[in-house]
Structure formats: C-alpha cells, structure tokens
Copies of this chain bind each other. A is one copy, B any other.
Amino acid sequence: MIDKTRFIQDCEALRAQSPLVHNITNYVAMNIAANVLLAAGASPLMSFCPEEMDEIVKISSALVINIGCLDMQEIAGMRLAAAAALKYGKPWVLDPVGAGASTLRTETALELVREYHPTIIRGNASEIMCLAGLAIKSRGVDSSASTSDAVEAAKALAKETGAVVSVSGAVDYVTDGERLESVANGSPLMGRVTAMGCSASALTGAFAAVDSDAFSAALNTMVMMGVAGDIAAEGTAGTGTFQLRFLDALTTFDAAAASERIRQA
C-alpha cells in the first residue's frame, strides 16, 4: 500500500523547499531532466567538472549520477562527487544506464555501488539484473527484460548494498530489500521518448532531498512520474505532444488528485 498522505506531503515539500539537485548526467538527458526538475518544483544544477565537485555537492541537497555518456574525465568527476556526497551526508542516486551493454558501463556502475554506497539505485530491468549479477544480455540502453523478472534481483541488490532499488518499466517496483511496492501508472509512450528514465532518476534525487526515508522518496517519485505520464498520454498517440503534456502535467501537478489515481500491480 502506498501512503497517500506521505506522497502528498513529499510533493508539497518539493515545491516549498525547491531543493537544489546536482546532476552528473548524459548529454541526451540534460535538458529534459532539468526541465522535469523545474516543472516539479526543484532547482537543477548540472556539472561534472572535477575541479568544482566538492563545492557543488556541498551546496546541493542531493546528487544524481547517471552514466549514460561516459568519458574518463566524467568518471573522475563522478567519483569525486560521490565521495563528497558521503562526506557531507547528502543522499545520492545512481542511474546505471546501459550497465551490461559494455564492460566500461558495468564496471563503472559496480565501482560506484561498491565504493560510494548510493542511497538509491534506479534503473531499468536489464540494468538492475546486471548489477545484481544475474546473467542477462543487455541490448543497448533500453531494457530487454520486464520489470517483474527483475523483482528478485532488485531485492537481492538492495539487501547486498543497503541501497533502495527502483526499477522502472511497464510496472515500476521499489524495494529496500524488505519492503516492496509497485506502481502501475504510466504510458507505453514513455518508452518511446528518450531520457524518461534519466528524468525519473533526477526526480528521485529531488524527492530524496525532501524525504529522509529513501524508500518512500523513490516510490513517490515513480508515482509522480506515472500519474503525469497517464495525464500526458490522454488523447495523444504522438511522442511530441506527449513530451509537452508531460511537462505541463508536472507544472500543474495536483498531488491530492494524483493520489486518487494510483494503480498498483
């Protein structure tokens, strides 16, 4: 059962506190992730420069690391940022984009998990199963597995790492190893718009900045994403219109009304 009251409180806290969320993310997602954060009420900052990582993490309320477009300098920035998040006690979210698709992606994601203990790991089924050590064959950056296949992997990964694990797909699952909740809201159009997963990770950072229970933060993020996706998909089959309406739905988000639309698997 999703706690509707807490969902509404989190949404309101997001608008009231407008947390500064620091993102090290890929070039495909930067613009839309920033716009998703702004529409939901948060304040985005994008930086990967090693020379300013410590200062930027220090003034931010949460950190999001997304390995979508890696290069060696960016990986160096990620390590410094994650270390700073630990030092300053900031929640941080890892999005292991394409883990399983290349050795570099898998090893970078695993290193960040092992060395810097993310608060929340948020990915698609393929990525989560890869990190959990299951033998799966990743196909690019889009998932080749369904989220229900990934539930046991997500639980195991959460228990092993201490992170909350959030798996997005047709049904989203969030677990801390003990608790498990699903969100069945959302539209198939979300899989045909790039960087929706990256945007979910960015927003997870914003919720983690205002809700100290990482499980609740990760879960309420997926509720907001899913209900906004439902609203955006109404009456359209096109991904252009969907994207526009998704941002509009976040800008004018009514958390109380949204809480009545929650569907679970």
Residues of A at under 8 Å CB distance from B? 20, 26-32, 34-35, 38-39, 43-49, 51-52, 55-56, 59-60, 68-73, 98, 101-105, 139-142, 189, 192-195, 236-241, 243-252
Q: How far is the CA of A27 from the CA of B247 in the complex (A)?
A: 20
A193 engages B38 (CB within 8 Å): yes
A248 to chain B, nearest CB (A): 3
Known: A56-B102, A59-B139, A237-B252. 13 other contacts (CB 8 A): A20-B139, A28-B30, A28-B46, A29-B31, A31-B194, A39-B238, A47-B98, A52-B105, A55-B101, A71-B73, A238-B244, A238-B245, A240-B248
Known: A31-B28, A140-B20. A49 touches B104 (CB 8 A): yes
Give the chain B neighbours of A142 by CB distance below 8 A.
43
Give the chain B neighbours of A250 by CB distance below 8 A.
239
- A46 nearest CB neighbor, chain B only: B28
A22 to chain B, nearest CB (A): 8
Give the chain B neighbours of A69 by CB distance below 8 A.
46-49
Contact for A38 among B52, B72, B239, CB less than 8 A: B239
- A189 nearest CB neighbor, chain B only: B251
Most B CB atoms within 10 A — which of A98, A247, A252?
A247
A102 to chain B, nearest CB (A): 4
Q: How far is the CA of A218 from the CA of B105 in the complex (A)?
A: 32
Q: How far is the CA of A195 from the CA of B27 in the complex (A)?
A: 14
A71 to chain B, nearest CB (A): 5
Give the chain B neighbours of A140 by CB distance below 8 A.
20, 43-45, 59-60
B103 engages A55 (CB within 8 Å): yes
Give the chain B neighbours of A101 by CB distance below 8 A.
45, 55-56, 59
Give the chain B neighbours of A51 by CB distance below 8 A.
70, 72, 104
